Amino acid sequence: MPPVPAAVTPVRLILASSSPRRREILSSLGLKFEVRHADVDETPRRGEGAAEAVRRLALEKARVVADSEKSSLVVGADTLVALDGVVMGKPADPEEAARMLLALGGRTHEVLTGVAFVKADEEFVHAGVCRSEVTFKKISEATASKYVGTGEPLGKAGAYAIQGAGGDLVEDYKGSFTNIVGLPVAEILRSVVRFGIERLEWAR
């Protein structure tokens, strides 16, 4: 990451995401932040690998918001699942969610989250990718159908939420848990130190 000038006053932090999971992670760190929705097409491009896609999408989200919030530090993020090089985003419907879960059953897959920081008035741009591995238990069609019926898989990369009922499908994982949820804490904490992001009293 390139050097950043020391901040004289706390910099406003903006999360370029409407994801409740990412909001919860930032809130748990005691950070003061605002939320802005980034209107970006999250569809991976043809031939684009998972790492390339999440980095690009995280940057696009951060830049869209930073255009109108130039003095703030804007963080964008995007998460995808990859199994044997095949990229899995959010399922389009319950049927696709069930197919994803059955494909992941008994296998180890990667969860990749791209995180981008943009501070337009300082022309600061940084983006990286955090990787974790998740191993699923073997999953029957009945189990997949029951889980899909909860509604939780919809809107989740790979059709599961490890922090929710989807955690019951997981045999093991390696790497950052919050990365699997959607926002790697280590990357965020580095920005707190570099830019002097204001924290709530209890978190200081």
Six token digits for residue 199: 């924290």
Given the residues 39, 67, 78, 84, the one annotated as active site: 78
Structure tokens at 171: 């045999």
Among the residues of 105-184, which ranges form H helices? Answer: 141-149, 177-181
Judge whether 78 counts as a catalytic residue. yes
The answer for residues whose C-beta is within 8 angstroms of residue 80's C-beta and 6 or more apart is 44, 50, 53, 54, 87, 88, 89, 111, 112, 157, 158
The helix (run of H) or strand (run of E) holding residue 127 is strand 124-136
- Report the catalytic residues: 78
